[in-house]
A and B are shown apart, each in its own frame.
Chain A
Amino acid sequence: METPEQIRDRLLARFPGAPVTLVPNGAPGGQASLLLEPSQAREMAEFLRDDPSLQLDFCSNMTGVDWPQAGCLEAVYHLYSMARKHGPLVIRQRTANRADGAAVASLTPVWRSAEFQEREAFDLFGIGFTGHPDLRRILMWDGFEDHPMRKDYAEPDDYEWEPTPHDAVLAKARLHYASAPVAPPAKEASP
């Protein structure tokens, strides 16, 4: 299969004016990935799927990543080819910010395997996917608010006494119970 650099060049040639950036990978022997612009991501994905030399027809993994310092959310896709048995190609889309309406293009119409995984990224990260046929929460219940996998997710304060609290949990214990962690409060020591 062609290298990510070669694929990037072909995408730039095929879609003039649409930026495609190479994102380096620091792991030993790590493969670089391609950052696509959400406005053209769907067409580019169809090109990657249908191009005869690539035929990347299998979207193996789709996930979200939260980058609070960069101020964006990212959707990462790992593409392989079942027809040609090669891969992977990693493509990414980034949102403009981490606000409520942040969205990227949904690639579910291109690869059906992204359907549930994009729903999960929406549920756990809050990344919107325009063009997704049924974008609603999948792992959390429907009325849930907030997005649990974000780095700044504040867990609800439903602390229950634990005998061996550490660090952050010990701090929570001290807020709730005067004497922690030696003994449970009197009301819970019922037989």
Chain B
Amino acid sequence: MTAPPELFASDPSSRVRPVHDEFHGDLLEVSMGPHHPSTHGVFRMNVTLDGETVVKLKPVLGYLHRNHEKIGEKASYLGSLPFTDRLDYFCSMTNSWAYALAVEKLTGQAVPERAEYLRVILAELTRLINHTCLAGFLLQDGGASGTPLMYAFREREKILDLFESLSGSRMMCNYQRFGGCRVDPSPAWLEGAQRVTDGYGAFLDEFESLLTGNEILMARTQGIGRLAPALAVSAGVTGPMLRASGVDYDLRKVDGYGIYPRFAFRIPLGDHGDTYDRYMIRILEMRESIGILRQALRDIPGGPCLDPGAKLRGLRPKAGEAYARIEGPKGEIGFYLISDGSPSPYRYRVRPPSFINLTLLEDLCLGHTVADAVVILGSIDIVLGEVDR
């Protein structure tokens, strides 16, 4: 059963059929979460069930709301950088790249070439981490008790070791700066990155032979949570979830930010828009990321990793506003900054991909069983640090 095709359900309660029907029992309202192993953080869904079928689903958010945007208004521009790491805590490199890009747009700051290559290398490594772990978590939600997840984490450790030896910290890297990157990697680090990249293809082959053809995975995810392309575009869905529905929109190609136009890579698109497609798109994107990494590591030039004229401490951009966005692993992550000439932004806004992708959770889950709702949520790829900020 698929969700009705109208773009917007004006009255969700109209789908709830009346109770006290002699052939059916009552409806049951279940609160899934916020303490729930499958909700990817403190996330709650109020699900109304007819037997096992979902007839209404209302997400309840805000359990991890830290008012990050207000902190951004109080801290200086440099001081907000470590906080951006904590938004989508799996992908600290891409969050801080998006923020650095927004500040660079606001000030007109240039970035040296080596730093652009480094940013691409780290962003693609982050994409590998995110998609691998997502496949693991999706299977975990599907009931695979952690085996694919642990293989994913084992591989992720290699990349986290790279991040630790480069920036000092595994996850909260605080690495990007306005005008480049904070630390210049040594040749030994680049060799290590090359080794990880070369070994990743073999890991993906093994991972796929475990998962992709698995009958249980296919039965649980194919045809589940179909997303029509028109609805996806209207709902502002971005990232792999959008491309799984067949819409060709990847910011690395559309905006061509940084130096992405120099790299040859393809954008995988899905045909059905169901959960299995969302899983497969991520696997295919990982293979493309390995290709980008090889090219970037081969071509990275020498030079400074931070623009010598970059101002970090006491930055006071001229009054104005800027919106910068990048293709993060979860979708389009953007930062909207309004400056009034003072050391802190007047308005600091994060455009969170997970939050906006969640708009369609109810639409995707209606008509499916409650077990499918968990799998669909897993395929949307949310991180509560980003949803709630």
Q: Is B7 part of the contact surface with A, judged by Cβ < 8 Å?
A: yes
Contact A141 B8 (CB under 8 A): no
Give the docked Cα–Cα distance between A63 and B69 (Å). 11
Given known contacts A88-B323, A138-B62, is B108 in contact with A29 (CB within 8 Å)? yes
Q: Which of A1-9, A107-115, A183-191 contacts B (4 or more CB under 8 A)?
A: A107-115
Give the docked Cα–Cα distance between A9 and B381 (Å). 41
Contact A28 B235 (CB under 8 A): no
Give the docked Cα–Cα distance between A188 and B342 (Å). 39
A contacts with B, residue count (CB < 8 A): 39
Give the docked Cα–Cα distance between A82 and B253 (Å). 12
Contact A116 B62 (CB under 8 A): no
Given known contacts A82-B247, A111-B234, A116-B355, is B62 in contact with A27 (CB within 8 Å)? no
Give the residue name and chain of the B residue nearest to A117 (CB). B356
Query: B334: which A residues are within 8 A, CB to CB?
Result: 60-61, 78
Contact B233 A25 (CB under 8 A): no
- Within 8 Å by CB of A113, from B70, B106, B235, B347, lies B235
Residue-wise, chain B 330-360 has the 8 Å CB interface mask toward A (1 for contact) of 0010101011000000010101000110111
Work out how many contacts link A and B, with CB atoms closer than 8 A: 105
Q: Is A102 part of the contact surface with B, judged by Cβ < 8 Å?
A: no
Chain A at the B interface: SS class: loop
- Within 8 Å by CB of A61, from B233, B249, B349, B358, lies B349
Contact B8 A27 (CB under 8 A): no
- Within 8 Å by CB of B8, from A82, A109, A138, A148, lies A109
Query: A28: which B residues are within 8 A, CB to CB?
Result: 107-108, 318, 320
Give the docked Cα–Cα distance between A115 and B318 (Å). 33
Q: How large is the interface on B (under 10, 10 to 19, 20 to 34, 35 or more residues)?
A: 35 or more
Segment 96-140 of A: residues with Cβ below 8 Å from B: 108-109, 111-117, 124, 133, 137-140
Q: How far is the CB of B251 from chain A (nearest CB, A)?
A: 10
Give the residue name and chain of the B residue nearest to A168 (CB). B74
Give the residue name and chain of the A residue nearest to B236 (CB). A113
Give the docked Cα–Cα distance between A113 and B353 (Å). 11
Contact A149 B107 (CB under 8 A): no
Contact B7 A112 (CB under 8 A): yes
Contact A57 B339 (CB under 8 A): no
Residues of B within 8 A of A (CB): 7-8, 10, 61-62, 65, 67, 69-70, 105-108, 231, 233-238, 247, 249, 254, 317-323, 325, 332, 334, 336, 338-339, 347, 349, 351, 355-356, 358-360, 388
* Known contacts A58-B236, A149-B69, then 9 further A-B pairs from the complex at CB < 8 Å, ordered by chain A residue: A26-B318, A27-B105, A29-B105, A58-B233, A90-B323, A111-B236, A116-B356, A139-B62, A140-B62
Minimum-distance CB pairs A-B, first 6: A113-B236, A27-B320, A26-B320, A28-B108, A139-B62, A112-B235
